[in-house]
Amino acid sequence: MSAQQLADRALLNLGRGLKESGYRFITPTPLTHERVYRRLATPLAMNMRDVFGWSMPFDNELLPEAFREELLQAGAIEKHDALWRSTVRWSSLDGLLFAHSPFPTVQADAVFFGPDSYRFAQVIEAHLQQRFEPLKRAVDIGCGAGVGALVVARARHDAEVLAVDINPRALRMTAVNAELAGLSNVSVYHSDVLASVEGEFDLIVANPPYMNDDGQRAYRHGGGALGEQLSVRIVSESIGRLALGGSLVLYTGVAMVAGADPFLKAVKPLLANDAYGWTYRELDPDVFGEELDKPGYEGVERIAVVALTVTRLR
C-alpha cells in the first residue's frame, strides 16, 4: 500500500471504531458552532463528540489508544499548544457516518459537511420515493464528503453510482465514507463537472457551492457575480447527459436581489426545450444571513436554498 492508502485505511478504521462506540453528531452551521465555542472560556474536549464533532482540542489521555494510533497513521492529528486536535471531523446522517474537514473550514481544499448536507439528502430521498423506474447509473457532481452518492447508493443497491469532484481530498473522503457504509456500488472519479466521465445517467445529483467567497475555497465559491455560476453550468452541462426518463436533482442557494431570482432567470432559457419537464421550489427562504454583511452582497436581500428537478421526457 502507498502512504496515502495506509492513511485512508487508518481513517476507515477510526470511523469503524467510532460507529462501534455509538458515536453520533449532528453538524450545525458555522455560526452556531462559533456561538457554542463562545460559551466556553477555554474549549477543551471532554468526550468523543467534543473531539470529532465540535473539533475541540483534547488531552492525549482522553482518547483510547487505538483511536490515537489511527489518528496518527491517518495524519489527522495536529499539535494545539500543549494539547492535540483532530484534523478530521465525523458527522451523522440517517445512520451513515461521514468524515470531512474540521471546524473552521479555512483550507482551500476543505471538505464541507453541514445543514445543507441534511437538506440535500432529504431532497434526493424525496425524489427517489417518487421514482419507480429502474435506476441503472447515477452521478453525484461535486461530491464533497459523498452525501449524494451514498444516499443514492444505499437506496438503489443495483445502481452504478459515480462520485466526481475536482478536489482530491473530497474523493478520498468519499471513498472512505462509502466503504465505511458498506456500499460497494460507489466509484470516485476526478472530474470537472462531467468532463471526465462518459455516457448518460438515470440520475444526476448536485449540491454545488453557491457563495461568493473571497478565498475561492472549492467547497464554498460558486463563481459569477453572486455565487450562481457553477450551479448554472451544472444545469447546462447535465441535461444533455440525462437518459430518457432520467432526472437532474440540483440543490443550491440563490442570492435574491430586489425580489428577483437570478439563478432561475439564467436557467429558464436552458429548459425552454419541451424535451424537458422541470420543477423548482424554495426550501428555505433565508439562510446564512451573516453573509449579507460581507463585500459583494450589498444589493442582496436574502439567500434562499432551492431545489431544481429536471427530467428528460423524450
**Mind listing the pLDDT tens digit for each residue in 246-293?**
999 999 999 999 999 999 999 999 999 999 999 999 999 999 999 899
Which pLDDT does position 225 carry in this prediction?
81
| Cα 224 to Cα 213: distance, rounded to the nearest angstrom | 11
Which pLDDT does position 91 carry in this prediction?
98
Say if residue 116's pLDDT is above 80: yes
Say if residue 1's pLDDT is above 90: no
Output the furthest CA–CA distance in the chain (Å, rounded).
64
- Phi/psi of residue 148, each to 5°? -60, -45
| Cα 25 to Cα 8: distance, rounded to the nearest angstrom | 21
Helix (H, G, I), strand (E, B) or coil at 309: strand
Parallel, antiparallel or unpaired: strands 201-206 and 137-141: parallel
Parallel, antiparallel or unpaired: strands 160-165 and 137-141: parallel
Secondary structure of 102-154 in HEC code, one letter for each residue:
CCCCCCCCCCCCCHHHHHHHHHHHHHHHHCCCCCCEEEEECCCCCHHHHHHHH
pLDDT (tens digit per residue) in 30-78: 999 999 999 998 999 999 999 999 999 999 899 999 999 999 999 999 9
What integer is the mean pLDDT of 139-151? 98
CA-to-CA dists, residue 121 to 125, 126, 140, angstroms? 6, 9, 12
| Cα 147 to Cα 163: distance, rounded to the nearest angstrom | 10
pLDDT (tens digit per residue) in 4-36: 999 999 999 999 999 999 999 999 999 999 999
Cα Rg for the chain, rounded, in angstroms?
A: 20
pLDDT (tens digit per residue) in 197-223: 999 999 999 999 998 877 777 777 778
What integer is the mean pLDDT of 83-89? 97
Which pLDDT does position 268 carry in this prediction?
97
- Single out the residue of 51, 65, 63 nearest to residue 102, CA to CA: 51
Which pLDDT does position 224 carry in this prediction?
82
Identify the residue with better confidence: 243 or 228. Answer: 243
Say if residue 236's pLDDT is above 90: yes
Alpha helices, DSSP H, located in the chain: 3-20, 30-38, 48-52, 65-74, 115-130, 147-155, 168-180, 229-238, 262-267
113-117, 147-151, 213-217, range with the lowest pLDDT: 213-217
Confirm whether pTM is higher than 0.85: yes
**Residue type (1 letter), 91:** S
Percentage of residues of the chain with pLDDT beyond 90: 87
- Phi/psi of residue 268, each to 5°? -55, -45
Which pLDDT does position 133 carry in this prediction?
83
Summary mean pLDDT of the chain:
95
> Within the chain, how many helices (H) and strands (E) appear?
9, 11
Which pLDDT does position 106 carry in this prediction?
86
| Domains, the chain, with CATH or none | 3-87 (no CATH), 115-312 (3.40.50.150)
Helix (H, G, I), strand (E, B) or coil at 306: strand
Angle between helices 147-155 and 115-130 (to 10 degrees): 30
What integer is the mean pLDDT of 299-312? 97
